[in-house]
Amino acid sequence: MSVFVLLHGAWHGGWAWQRVAPLLRAEGHEVYAPTLTGVSDRAHLLNPSVGLSTHVQDVVALLEAHDLEDVVLVGHSYAGQVVTGVADRVPSRIARRVYLDAFVGDDGEAAIDLLPETVAGHYRESVAGPGFGWLIPVRSLTVLGVTEQADLDWLTPRLTPHPWLTYTEPLRLQGSEVPAAFIECVDWMRVFRPHAERAAARGWPVHEVATGHEAMVTAPKELADVLLTLA
């Protein structure tokens, strides 16, 4: 059986995987879904110095504390950067990287530079205004492809502002290679389509899920099925 470590994207917490984790555990797999520093149930640790390296260390510490090996490391959206950083730091613990509608970054690349120019502009404006210069305010869920009112009601009160430094701090990689796959959510504006194309160009398997960006909420069964095939 595999060990899944599921990493949430910006504004979310480990709770975002509540609909997926039981489906993986039902097949006998071990599942961890940590919350990264500074958001959700760890928002009390939020400060301007929380960056990408903080989140990479969060996950490395989890893997080492639990002595996890042969890990399927899944990152949603922003957390693609975290997956890349963690796999580079402790490649011997990772069996496969999985990028769920996520950034596929290279050495020296920051998340903000991997967004389409118009989207990156919206981020910068919101950070400079209501984000006080160091926070990314929560994005509209409807923009992310969430349409069901029940899902909106479940997600909205749980989301918290996200530390801006995680988007501006670049990856610093040594070049370790771990097998990888990409899952694209195709029923929304497809902001991460260039990353799916980057993955395909590198020979990674690319899977599609017919849902919006928040697949773990809006299509948990379909997503779990893909993750199980990758395991």
Instruction: List residues with catalytic annotation.
Output: 77
| Phi/psi at 188 (5° precision) | -160, -160
Element (H, E) at 134: none
Which residues does residue 65 pair with via DSSP β-bridges, in sequence order? none
Residue with tokens 């160009």: 201
Cα angle: 169, vertex 195, 230; to 5 degrees: 105
- Read off the DSSP letter of residue 24: H
Distance (Å, rounded) from C-alpha 6 to C-alpha 29? Answer: 12
Residue with tokens 């948990």: 220
Token reading at 161: 């502002």
Identify the sign of the CA torsion 15, 56, 59, 116: positive
Residues 123 and 143: beta-carbon distance below 8 Å: no
